[in-house]
Amino acid sequence: MADVLPLVEARLRTALGEPDARAAVTFLGTDRIEVLRFADGDVVRYATLGMSAQPMADPTAVVADPVKGPRAELVLSVRSGVADTDKVLRPLAVLAASPQVEGVVVAPGASLDVGGPLWPGAPFTSVLVAESGGLVEDLELDAPADPVRFLPLLPMTANEAAWKRVHGAQALQERWLARGTDLRAPVRGSVPLD
């Protein structure tokens, strides 16, 4: 099968325009992960490139299938000019490398924690993985490979992450929607959870 990363980058460019910056991170024993930055008015989007090079393997599988299995890249959108969000590059690369490092399958509804603020002063240490297909369309690959899904990341405060563990991702998203929460705000308080 052909290398999927040029196809993934082409899909990102078609959906988001030309990246104005990119950075690469390599972790011991993993493939290189790049993070591309796209400016769009007062919003900046960060997209990983490299997570989809290999399918994510079920951690209980004895042997990982080199072709079949879910593939994904991560996309984070935040308002620019409010915080130093460019420091999110390394945490995003860590999240994108987690399928290779920890054997996890990143899917919608999952919580991913980076163990510290997403960027300096951020009230978020984790993100909720949302459904694909909105901002960047899924990229179909030749059979039998699964499509590459571009999964939006929604930053969560510690209280929101704890509430989500009890009530579920759908309930948290409904609460955000009902309260008109600006999920692109790089600095915001927790949505009321009473």
Each of the 194 residues of the chain gets a pLDDT tens digit; together they read: 458 999 999 999 999 999 999 999 888 777 889 999 999 899 999 999 999 999 998 766 767 777 888 999 999 999 998 899 999 999 999 999 999 888 889 999 999 999 999 999 999 999 999 999 889 999 999 988 899 999 999 999 999 999 999 999 999 999 999 999 999 999 999 998 87
Q: Is 30 helix (H, G, I), strand (E, B) or coil?
A: coil
Q: Which two tokens stand for residue 86?
A: 């460019």
Please state the pTM of the whole predicted model.
0.94
Angle at 32 between CA 38 and CA 81, to 5 degrees: 25
Q: What angle do helix axes 169-179 and 158-167 make, rounded to 10 degrees?
A: 130
The whole-angstrom distance between residue 121's C-alpha and the CA centroid of its chain comes to 20
